[in-house]
Every structure is written in structure tokens, then in C-alpha cells.
């Protein structure tokens, strides 16, 4: 099963929306607070090429920002959501 990781900061409103969405659809995920974890911040930039949050990682798929349709598609493709 694909690992789901959300790179975020506590002050980011779109990060809160992303977390709420993932909780709403019942997907287990790990949160990496890039404001406190320098290693996670460097990983996020390496994977996404971006410094902005949120960044969602679903297996090998990286989504920058909050896009409900892109999140759903990535989660469905990873077999984490029913279509």
C-alpha cells in the first residue's frame, strides 16, 4: 500500500484543509511539519522542487498545493479510495 505523507506547517490554511480532507475520506497519513523539521523540509524541496506547502506525497506521486480532484485521483490510483 502506498504511503501518504503531507508536508505542511501549522500556520498554513491550505495545509489544514488538506488534513481535513484526508481525515474526511478516511486515509491514514503522516504529517511532516517542515517549519520544525529541517530534514523533512529538504526532502519536500527535493521531491517537489517547491518550498511552498502543502505538498502531498502518495507513493511516487507529488502534488503541490491543495487540489481536491488531484488528491482524490492520486488516492484512487494508489488503491486508497474507492472510485
Class of domain 4-77: alpha beta
Instruction: Output the pLDDT for position 77.
Output: 95
Query: Which of 76, 73, 75 has its CA nearest to residue 6?
Result: 75
Domain boundaries, the chain: 4-77
Instruction: Output the pLDDT for position 83.
Output: 61
Model pTM score: 0.94
* First-to-last C-alpha distance (Å) of the chain: 16
pLDDT tens for 22-80 read 999 999 999 999 999 999 999 999 999 999 999 999 999 999 999 999 999 999 999 99
Is the dihedral angle over the CA atoms 57, 63, 68, 70 positive or is it negative? negative
> Is the predicted pLDDT of residue 82 greater than 90, yes or no?
no
> Is the predicted pLDDT of residue 21 greater than 80, yes or no?
yes
Amino acid at each position: 500500500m502506498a504511503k501518504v505523507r503531507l508536508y505542511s506547517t501549522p500556520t498554513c490554511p491550505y495545509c489544514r484543509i488538506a488534513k481535513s480532507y484526508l481525515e474526511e475520506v478516511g486515509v491514514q497519513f503522516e504529517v511532516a511539519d517542515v517549519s520544525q523539521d529541517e530534514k523533512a523540509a529538504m526532502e519536500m524541496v527535493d521531491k517537489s522542487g517547491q518550498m511552498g506547502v502543502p505538498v502531498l506525497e502518495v507513493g511516487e506521486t507529488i502534488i503541490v498545493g491543495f487540489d481536491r480532484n488531484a488528491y482524490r485521483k492520486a488516492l484512487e490510483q494508489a488503491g486508497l479510495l474507492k472510485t
